[in-house]
Amino acid sequence: MKKPQFIAVLAVIILGGSLPALADAQVNFYEGKTITLLATRAAGGTSDLRTRAVLTFLKKHIPGNPNIVMAYMDGGGGRKGANHLYSSVKPDGLTIGAASGTMISLAVMGESGVNYDIDKFIYLGTPDHENSNVIYTRRELGLDTIEKLRAASGLRIGAQSVGAVSYVAGRMFAYLIGLKDAKFIAGYTSLEIDAALTQGELDARANNAISVLRRNPEWLDKKLMNFHSIVEVPKGERHPRLVHLPEIETFARSERERRLISLFRGFRAVGSPFILPPGTPKDIVQILEAAFRRIAKDPEFPVYFHKLVADDASPLGPEELKKIVADIPRDREVIDQLKQLSGAGPLPPR
């Protein structure tokens, strides 16, 4: 046998013998180990239930059947836990961050106390990325067209708090649709806003599309509220019963306003991201990425998620989540404009 042929055959023999060992190493890495899911928030609430739903399926889909436990690090709207994951956690694959989407928005918006780089985290997936928002008004007002909505003045739009998603969404709708002298009234719980609307204390609200149709389907079925517009999150994903609503981007007048919408859309589309600290070895990352891909395709996951969380799952794997984060606009002008919409001051001029 000629020397080149001999070397090729020898390489095949060596690799052939080592591949099963490599595969076994991957399968056995987590055997007998404990993974900590570090939530960057307090225990309890819907976000915690989302994490626990994923935990159950991680046990199913990570080879080696590791034990998985929950830990919590609340503070700074998720900054404390994200900073800890970025700088203090050993990147050995035994600690997975169960973060909130605010981790992304705080960093992009340049808020104080952010000591991590979102582009260096390793993104594994999210159980929820479809987070479209709609705006609607009381039927008694008779605002059943965009023209009538624009002609009304001083509409009282309710929200939980300044800077909350419903607050920012309501102000974005008002800004882009062109509402006259809209009043933004915060300080309610979500259920209190519903009650205030039905009692005439408020005129309008922005809300998660899935939530309103699950909690108050008669508002659409019996036309007890007039629905006006939707922010698709992600773009192109809309509730099948709201396809008649104009998407908010149809009201944009410039590329800057379209990028403003993209910024808001990106913050919502990351959902509840699961992350690893920078420097986690590639072979371990591949094991966990594969597990999250299997969760996203597991037909039992949405059933269990809905049962536990009382919400619909919309899982994404690592590739899709990485792309959402990478595509979030980072230009200062657009960020400053979203900051104005998120604050308590008047809406910015168009």
Q: What would the pLDDT profile of 85-130 be if each residue is shown by its tens digit? A: 999 999 999 999 999 999 999 999 999 999 999 999 999 999 999 9
The pLDDT score that the predictor gives to residue 320 is 96
CB 83 within 8 A of CB 121: no
Angle between helices 46-61 and 282-297 (to 10 degrees): 110
Identify the band that residue 27 occupies on the pLDDT scale cut at 50, 70 and 90: low
β-strands 204-208, 225-231: how paired?
unpaired
The pLDDT score that the predictor gives to residue 7 is 46
Is the predicted pLDDT of residue 19 greater than 80, yes or no? no
Identify the band that residue 14 occupies on the pLDDT scale cut at 50, 70 and 90: very low
Structural Rg of the chain based on CA atoms: 24
Please name every residue paired with 316 in a beta bridge, in sequence order, or none if there are none: 126
Q: Please, what is the average pLDDT of the chain?
A: 91
CA distances (Å), origin 162, targets 121, 134, 278: 29, 18, 33
pLDDT: which is higher, 126 or 45: 126
CB 65 within 8 A of CB 241: no
The pLDDT score that the predictor gives to residue 237 is 85
| Whole-structure pTM value | 0.86
CATH 3.40.50.150 describes domain 133-267+334-342: no
Rounded to an integer, what distance in angstroms lies between the CA atom of residue 80 and that of residue 87? Answer: 11
Q: Give kind and range of the element (H or E) at residue 241.
A: none
Query: Residue 115 gets which letter from DSSP?
Result: -
pLDDT: which is higher, 18 or 275: 275
Rounded to an integer, what distance in angstroms lies between the CA atom of residue 76 and that of residue 106? Answer: 10
Residue ranges of domains in the chain: 31-129+270-316, 133-267+334-342
The pLDDT score that the predictor gives to residue 238 is 80
Residue with tokens 């900073």: 83
CATH 3.40.190.150 describes domain 31-129+270-316: yes
Q: What average pLDDT score do residues 58-63 get? A: 96
Q: What would the pLDDT profile of 240-252 be if each residue is shown by its tens digit? A: 899 999 999 999 9
Task: Tell me whether domains 31-129+270-316 and 133-267+334-342 share a fold.
Answer: yes
Buried b (16+ CB within 10 A) or exposed e, 59-75: eebbbeebebeeebbee
The pLDDT score that the predictor gives to residue 31 is 95
* Of residues 328, 129, 131, 109, the one with CA closest to residue 231: 131
Q: What would the pLDDT profile of 155-206 be if each residue is shown by its tens digit? A: 999 999 999 999 999 999 999 999 999 999 999 998 999 999 999 999 999 9
Residue type at position 70: M
